[in-house]
Chains A and B, each alone.
Chain A
Amino acid sequence: MAQLASDIAGGSLAGRHRKNRLMSWLLTALMAGVVAILVWVLAYVALKGYSALNWTFLTDTPPGNPSDPGGGFANGIVGSLIIVGIATVIAVPVGIGAAIYLSEYGGDRFAGLVRFLTDVTLGIPTIVVGAFVYAVWVLNFGFSGYAGGLAMAVVMVPLIVRASEEMLRLVPNDLREASLAMGVTRARTTLSVVLPAATSGLITGVMLAVARAMGETAPLLLTTLGNDLYMESDPNHRMSTLSLQIFGSATAGFPDALARAWAGALTLVAMVLILYVAARLIGRRNTAKA
């Protein structure tokens, strides 16, 4: 503390206050600048997308010739929903199961390893996950919606584990002890006491993971490949997704393809933001209850 005092003592009082004001102002300006960038991104997408968005966009497939006007990304929207749906069905039980293991059973070194590898897997670039699923699945069964779903599941699992473990730990220990003291088994306690108490938190975590998967493009490029020709709802075949169609049309260079891509970008951002806001609202209810 002596050093602290001597640090403060330097400089005139007016000068120190001026510096304080200057720095506060600078940090405020920084925050305003970053918010402005966010507004720039969202407003740009909204304006470009809004002028290109119409009903056919949501109900039609792209025209056979990408330079033609009209058409839409209906097959991509359906593809995104199917693939993220497959991924969610795989990732939720595995992710929440692993989180239960970590928070309710995991005190040993293996749990430490699982926790560490969850974090490391979270950091693996998603394009590498795509290459992995290509090697495991696509080389044997071809490009397909299932392959895309599998890749997305690998992306989602660590996200769900991290969020869910945190939520399960928020459940007060008294509840577990009360249940166990009544002779209820560990499994029943977890299923009937711990999980219900953490439900809204778990849902928040899953929804954030779904939002993340919805916007992913890179791993899908290597696994489902895309299909702009017709509506494909059988995940055994190669499918399109919204993100893949935006990527393809944005880099194709035709004005009409660009218009579709902007409408697609707006649709995708809207879907992701709705999921994000809904997840936060549900999560807030959870913290209010606890």
Chain B
Amino acid sequence: MSASGQAAAPPPVTVGAEARALSRQRPRLGDLTFRALVSGSGALIVAIFLAIGIFILDEAWPAISHYGIGSFLSGSRWAPSEAALNLEGKNPYGILQFVYGTVLTSAIALLLAVPIAVGLALYITEIAPSLIRRPLAYVIDILASVPSVVYGFWGIFALIPAVKPVANDLSDWLHSIPVVGPIFAGPFFGPSYFVAALVLAIMVLPIVTAICREVFAVAPLAEKEAALALGATRWEMIKLAILKRSRVGIFGAAILGLGRAFGETIAVTMVIGNSVLGITTSIFGQGATMPSVIANEFTEATEPFHLDSLFVVALCLLVVSLIVNTAGKLIISRVGTRIA
């Protein structure tokens, strides 16, 4: 559960050539059966992956072929009730505001979480007494094991009241400033992009911390010792021998955290306000994300092309998650091989 972004895949276990030569020349039936079974399990994973893509695309297809994929991505108004009024009219299922909500909340979450995660990882790997390093890592992992629905519930009743005065002050101070003002425009009712982003930041913190720890762990000991031997303080050693060479790795960790934030559903659904009718510029405004609209409307989707359009949203989410996770994984594995 800790780190999903492990460094480069390790080489397979190889058994010595002598041992292989000594082993039975003609494979037995049982041996072949076992091999077929475990290879089949591997193949099943490939099949599941392909099936997810095919089935989601298949369900989304009626809406895509009726309205055209471009009309989904260019509209920012989601009004299912208008679909029945004029079937041949303009696409009422614009999804741009969901993309916006997803990107905005994830971006704020990462802006908050990545620096904190880097700090935590540095503390655990370099500063904490060695006796409490492992327990601290477990404690951070516990943050990841708290269920999403519990974070959402806590967000509504504990986080929102705590954030309210701060958010209101912020919007009072900043709302009249040009350019920046609209971003912080009030009033702050509670459920908002901002609160969703805060909850997301807490939820992605453990995974980003875990990957950063792995990235910092591959910094060569010789360079750390060299820095200290040259008279560097501990912080200077961290800056020179660890942080400087870990930039790419931290970036990879952030991308994998982004992958996690994009897909988070229930906690966000509970604190974002679920306004589907357009883009709100203020971070204190209410909105929706791609996962939250699916969770909210899926089982009540009765309008024409309503369910199909939710599958279009799921398809977008799937494509985005594939791109983001593949990119993060490639970056992290490059770091692993480059440093090792």
Q: Is the CB of A187 within 8 A of B55?
A: no
Residues of the B chain whose Cβ atoms lie less than 8 Å from the Cβ of A98: 38, 41-42, 44-45
- B19 contacts A by Cβ under 8 Å: yes
Q: Which residue of B lies closest to A123 (CB)?
A: B325
Contact size class for B? 35 or more
- Taken together as a complex, chains A and B put the C-alpha atoms of A190 and B240 apart, in Å, by 46
Interface string of B317-340 (1 = CB under 8 A from A): 110011011100100000000000
Residues of the B chain whose Cβ atoms lie less than 8 Å from the Cβ of A162: 4, 6
Residues of the B chain whose Cβ atoms lie less than 8 Å from the Cβ of A113: 46
Q: Is the CB of A7 within 8 A of B116?
A: no
Q: Assuming A185-B31, A268-B147, is B230 touching A161 (CB within 8 A)?
A: no
Shortest Cβ distance from residue B260 to the other chain A in the assembled complex, whole angstroms: 8
Q: How many A-B residue pairs have CB under 8 A?
A: 325
Q: Is the CB of B299 within 8 A of A30?
A: no
Q: Is the CB of A123 within 8 A of B259?
A: yes
A-B contact pairs, 30 of them (CB 8 A): A4-B227, A4-B232, A7-B240, A16-B236, A19-B235, A24-B234, A28-B127, A30-B123, A37-B143, A38-B143, A42-B146, A95-B41, A100-B41, A105-B39, A107-B11, A107-B14, A111-B12, A123-B321, A132-B51, A154-B52, A159-B1, A169-B13, A173-B13, A222-B294, A225-B299, A243-B266, A247-B149, A251-B270, A269-B146, A276-B145
Q: Is the CB of A261 within 8 A of B153?
A: yes
- A118 contacts B by Cβ under 8 Å: yes
Residues of the A chain whose Cβ atoms lie less than 8 Å from the Cβ of B59: 131, 135
- B154 contacts A by Cβ under 8 Å: yes
B145 in complex: contacting residue of A94, A187, A211, CB < 8 Å: A211
Q: Is the CB of B35 within 8 A of A217?
A: no
- A265 contacts B by Cβ under 8 Å: yes
Residues of the A chain whose Cβ atoms lie less than 8 Å from the Cβ of B180: none
Interface string of B233-251 (1 = CB under 8 A from A): 1111010110000000000
Q: For the complex, would chain B's binding face be called helix, strand, loop or mixed by DSSP majority?
A: helix
Residues of the A chain whose Cβ atoms lie less than 8 Å from the Cβ of B311: 131, 135
Stretch of A57-65, A67-75, A174-182, A228-236 lying at the B interface:
A174-182
Q: Is the CB of A16 within 8 A of B1?
A: no
- Count chain A CB atoms within 10 A of each CB in B24, B39, B44 and give the residue with the most: B39
Q: Is the CB of B38 within 8 A of A105?
A: yes
- B277 contacts A by Cβ under 8 Å: no
- A239 contacts B by Cβ under 8 Å: no
Q: Residues on B close to A: CB < 8 A?
A: 1, 4, 6, 9-16, 18-20, 22-24, 27-28, 30-31, 33-35, 37-46, 48-49, 51-52, 55-56, 58-59, 116, 119-120, 122-124, 127-128, 136, 138-143, 145-154, 156-158, 202, 205, 226-227, 230-236, 238, 240-241, 256, 259-260, 262-266, 270, 291, 294-295, 298-299, 310-311, 314, 317-318, 321-322, 324-326, 329
Q: Nearest 9 pairs between A and B by C-beta?
A: A125-B263, A215-B147, A97-B41, A123-B325, A187-B34, A20-B233, A218-B265, A101-B38, A98-B41
Q: Which residue of B lies closest to A173 (CB)?
A: B13
- Taken together as a complex, chains A and B put the C-alpha atoms of A117 and B322 apart, in Å, by 10
Shortest Cβ distance from residue A211 to the other chain B in the assembled complex, whole angstroms: 6
Q: Is the CB of A212 within 8 A of B145?
A: yes
B156 in complex: contacting residue of A16, A124, A157, A250, CB < 8 Å: A250
Q: Assuming A119-B329, A186-B31, A246-B149, is B42 touching A102 (CB within 8 A)?
A: yes
Residues of the B chain whose Cβ atoms lie less than 8 Å from the Cβ of A262: 153
B22 in complex: contacting residue of A45, A103, A183, CB < 8 Å: A183
- A196 contacts B by Cβ under 8 Å: no
Q: Which residue of B lies closest to A33 (CB)?
A: B116
Q: Which of A16-51 contact B (CB under 8 A)?
A: 16-17, 19-20, 23-24, 26-28, 30-31, 34-35, 37-38, 40-42, 44-45, 48
Residues of the A chain whose Cβ atoms lie less than 8 Å from the Cβ of B151: 41
B149 in complex: contacting residue of A27, A129, A134, A217, CB < 8 Å: A217
- A197 contacts B by Cβ under 8 Å: no
Q: Assuming A8-B227, A30-B123, A218-B266, is B52 touching A129 (CB within 8 A)?
A: yes
